[in-house]
Amino acid sequence: MTLSGKTAIVTGGNSGIGKAIVLALAEQGANVVIDYISHPEATEELERQVAALGDKVIGVEADVSNVDDLKRLVSAAVDAFGRLDVMVNNAGIETRTGILDTTEAQFEKVIAVNLKSAFFGTQLAATQMIAQDSPGGVVINISSVHEEWPMPGNIAYSCSKGAMKMLTRTAAVELGPKGVRVVGIGPGAVATPINTVEMTPETLARLNAYIPLGRMAQPEEIASVVAFLAGPGASYVTGATIFADAAIMLQSPGL
């Protein structure tokens, strides 16, 4: 198990891609801190799954758009496990609105959850990683293929992910000499409830036609890339977005 003895935080960790990441890191032997903002019962069930793998785990209710909550999240990891080695900035939301109908409140909420949380999550995690005995670690930002390709009808989300690309690149240059790697993962369409609950068979078929493998990615596929990047085998990878899933799609006005 390549992450034995390491400690990881996963924001937005009790559902979807975050849940799969928690399990993938635990399967590699990591102690895991599950950040969540709702559905404590889902967190408790996930904690039981991780514990069954033989790993240590805690759930922490924290709003990652709030810097004080992020500080508390990092402190909880260190208090429970003694150090922090992996920070996965996964939490994210979207509005599915365009430039003409996105409100100020919607825009600010998306930027706070998707970008502000990753910025200060990176800052706080790196500060801890540098200060602790055996300094070093890795920050993994879960971005999106839409950091590169426009997504009409979801503009605030696209703005947040485009900014996350430069956060990843710039932080990697600043933190690399201090022993902290910063890497991004940019999935395309992933089969999670947020993407499938309102999708008709016709819409899904049209989407799949634009995906090279003809299907949406599974959360476990994204999680396996996170687990690899968190481990020693990826020590050379920093400052880049890995377009990691089976579902990188060509943008089409028809979607």
State the catalytic residue, choosing from 36, 157, 210, 236. 157
Is 157 part of the annotated catalytic residue set? yes
Burial level of 69, CB count in 10 A (0-12/13-18/19+)?
A: middle
User: What residues act catalytically?
Assistant: 157
